[in-house]
Amino acid sequence: MTENELSYKIIGVVIELHKQIGPGLLESAYENALAYELRSLGLEVSQQVAMPFVYKEVHLDVGYRIDILVENKIILEIKSVESLAPVHYSQLLTYLKLSDKRLGLLVNFNSKLVKDSIHRIVNNL
């Protein structure tokens, strides 16, 4: 499955999940429910994946974590905030660069229409 096909499937799951439970929950609730739904489709899903940070060839454990990694291809960064800030976009792009992944989805579940709060971020490697 290509990254585009996979992202299309993920977005459908995000929209359906939001229809079922709506806004106002903690990020962890959305993360776990989304991971459950993606796994039920037979997708490989990892949660809270440690994000290594290498500086001058030294591996530093600074506690960065990818919310959800799907099929080892797409990073999902889950938010439940009043509005997304530029730092949220930067965070996902940095995660993509550090992990050598090409595509990420930034999703803010705390919105009336989640389809307006799904943002594709591309790392042009």
Tokens at 73, concatenated = 């291809």
- Beta-carbon count within 10 A of 49 CB: 16
Q: What is the pTM of this model?
A: 0.93
pLDDT bucket at 34, cuts 50 / 70 / 90: very high
Give yes or no for a contact between 98 and 3, defined as CB atoms under 8 angstroms apart: no
- Higher per-residue pLDDT: 43 or 124: 43
Give the CA distances from residue 51 to residues 42, 48, 113, in Å, rounded to whole numbers and listed in that order: 24, 9, 30
Domain ranges, ordered by start, for the chain: 3-122
Q: Spell out the alpha helix ranges (H) of the chain.
A: 3-21, 27-40, 86-99
Distance CA 117, CA 103 (A): 16
pLDDT band, very low/low/confident/very high, at 23 (cuts 50, 70, 90): very high
pLDDT > 80? residue 84: yes
Tell me which fold the domain 3-122 belongs to: Trna Endonuclease; Chain: A, domain 1 (3.40.1350)
